[in-house]
Each structure stands twice: as structure tokens, then as C-alpha cells.
A and B are shown apart, each in its own frame.
Chain A
């Protein structure tokens, strides 16, 4: 069976439960919608508004799913349909590798951190393709912006997330989590990397101040301009899920994910505790993202690129240097 250590020796039913209900797809679906609610509600409260009701994201999703689904005449039908599905599928696949209930995910192997990083890049490319093939000038312009901004946040994001792996000397998320629990000082050493990864994640999610591809005051809705109905619902869901998985990845790599795990009998009790710890840490990262969104305004494309190359990447390199020094001076 392809289960990790934590799920060893459990029958196929429990694996299916893990895959589809908790902490699998159904849970990710609910958590993504909750995250969007939290995002909009806290954003509204910080502007002294009341904000949307609790079930608002769900109502948006159902309404979009029940609406007419228009494919423009000029759009490439196949790519136009495939883009949101590819984006969502990549996010859901990345989610399975995150250690949520125990220190191993559904399947843990050496290098799973790199796999998750690459899977998290695919939704951006899907957004670019969707915008490009929508046959609309605004969509193509937005798609170009998505693609041109990709490298400005992707490089610091990768560099920052590799720091804990460098300190620990393993590409396996389970090892990183174990190491962080036994060496709490590791968080202070990689604090700079955490901040860089947080800013880069904000750019990855195309939220303020980096919502240049969407920029509703300039190019209407960017790549999503021709999307309606089910396809738009899928894109919105993919974006929310990307926020959950990105925040969860930061929580795992920098904040030790579901650890410390209390060993309880029977084993699923300790899973529940692990999942709760993971949730608290993920919500903390999401809260920081929302805080950043409500504190800033949008910047221009050239400002973002120069910010990334002048500040984020050099600082990420400094962080990697620190990590290597710490490793050679005998560890923490």
C-alpha cells in the first residue's frame, strides 16, 4: 500500500476515507470556501464594513455552477475548457502530499517538497493558457502579465522554501517536520525565509499588492474576462484551494505542520490532534496573507519585478548563505 508511516496497516476503506473525505478532497473543498469567507470577512472588517455572510462563497459557487456557460466564438474550445480543470487538479494533487494528520502525508518520499512546489506552479500556467486562448484582448493581456510576473515571485519562493531543507539536509517534508520539532531554534534561523516566502506566496496567489494580472481597474478581470458559469467557478475554487495549499506548505516547512503530535490510543485520536495543530498554523499563515492584502495597494508591473529582483532574491540568497553557514558550523 502506498501509505506513509502514519497510516500503515490500515485497511483500504480508511485510505479511501483519507483520500476523499478527511483530510482529502471534501475537507479541502470546505476549507477553501471557509478561507475565502475569512478573507472577505476580515478584509471587510478592516474597512469598517460588515462583510459577507458565512455561506457567501458557497452561494457564489452554486450560482456560478447553475449559470449558463458561455464559450466565446473566438476562444479555443478545448484549451478554454481544459485550463480550469488542469489548475484545480494540480492543486488537489499537491494537497495530498502535505503532511496533515501525521508527519507523513498520504505518500511521503525523498523530494516530495520539490514535487509540491512544481505542482503549485501549474495553476499559474493554466491561468495563462486560459487567458491566452479566450480570444479576448483583455484576456490575452492578463495572460501575458501572469506569465511575465511568474519568474519574479517563483525564484524567491523556491529559494526561501529550500532553506529549511538545506538546514536539515533532506528534501522530504516528513524529515523537515521532525527536525524542526527537535530543534525549535530552526524557526529563528529561517525567519527571513518565512517572510520572503510569505510575500512571494502573495504574488503567486495574485492578491494585493501583486494583483497586476487581474487589475480590474485596468484590464477588467485579466485572464478570467471571458469565463462564466462552471469554468469560472472552477477557477475561483482553484484559487481558494491554492491559498489553502500554499499556506499549508508554509506551515509545514517553516512551522512544523502537524507536530508536535501527542501519541494517543487509538491512533485516530492523535490524528485529530495533529490535524487541529495543522489547522491552527495554516490559519495563522492565511491571517498574515489577509493582513498584507488589506494594508497595501496595487503596484505596477515594473515595480513588482524590480522589487523581486532587487530585494526578494538577494535576501533569499542571504538566507541560503545563513543556512549553509549554520550547517557547516555544526548545526543548531
Chain B
């Protein structure tokens, strides 16, 4: 299983390396979006008067960006393989469902990890966030979020027959993620029903860890519960993706 999983991940990374335009865009998009965020937030001096620190907000926005990019990147993958016939060929050539799902998550997590690194570097230098003392828990949380987001994307791509069907799923998950994760509105300010709904949003757990570690300066081990829940959500998504990936029409 590990051998086949690795073969898929390596193949995906070979494909990324060959596609220079894709690689350039993958790096340029987080850079441009972070620059835009910096420009927008810097042009709102009234935020400081309201007690909102841009640096506090930046890390949450960065987490959202990592989630969004990793999710969008991976929603299309299985759809493309299904459409091109390579998915059927993989099955006929001996790859199993769980190997395909985990292989894709492995392959796409590499690029998601690189994007995460870009976002973290920009967060530090553009927003002057002092990440270094907490870099290990922050990077670990961001990386876990990226991998879980790839898992979510792979899971969702199971339900689309073509690229066109993928697009409605993007806002369907991203808008609730933004609204219910605590990035835009603190969860405690949401109506009770939406607070309950927020438990199924993976971004919520990452935001919870990052806010506690960076803003409230709590130790990482006190945030193990949300961190492990994030991993559990990821595991559930991967199990779901393996079970729903159709080997036989």
C-alpha cells in the first residue's frame, strides 16, 4: 500500500514540477492575496480605534487563505482523472481506493505545504507578526490544516462528474468556513444553532489553536484538544473519501 501511495504522490509532484506556469501561479496567488489583505487592512485606521490589531487578524486570515487554496487546488483532481480515464486505468492497473485517496492527499499536500510556508513568511514580514517563538505549533497547525483541506477537496471531488460540477462546491464550503470558523465573527457571537454548525468546520479548530497560541500566548499542549480534533476531522474526511470513491460504475 505504501509503495503505491508513494508512486501516486511522486507522480503528482513530477507533474507539478513540469507545469511551470502552475507552479508560478501557486506561489504568486498567496503572495498577491496577502499583499491585497495588507493594503486593505492598512487603509482602515479605524480598526485600531476599535481595538482590532491587524497583526492578530493576519494569522487568522492566513489560516483561511491556506484552507481556501489547498481546498480549491484539490477539488478538481479526481474529477480530472475520472474524465480523462486515468482513474479507471489506475484501478485496472492495481491501485486501490485508499491508495489513490492517500496518494493524492500526499501529492497535493506537498504543494499545499509550500504555499503554507509562503503564507507564513508573508504573515511575518508583511504584518510584522512575531511568529518565531511559536513557529513549531503554528507551522504544525497550518500544515495540518493544509492537509485536512486537501482531504476535504479530494472528498468533495468524489461527488462531481465534471469540472463544472465542482464549482458550486467551492462557495458552498468556503463561505460557511469563513463565517463559522471565527475568522470573521467570533464563534461566541454567533447564534446557538450556528455555533453548533461550526463544529463540522475544520478551519474552526485551526483558528482556535492559532488564536490561543499567538494572541493569548497559551502553551500549545493546552490546545491539544482542538488540534487533535482537526486531525480527527481530516482522518474522517479521508475515510469518507476512500469509501465514496467509486471503483465500479
- Do A and B pair up? The answer is no
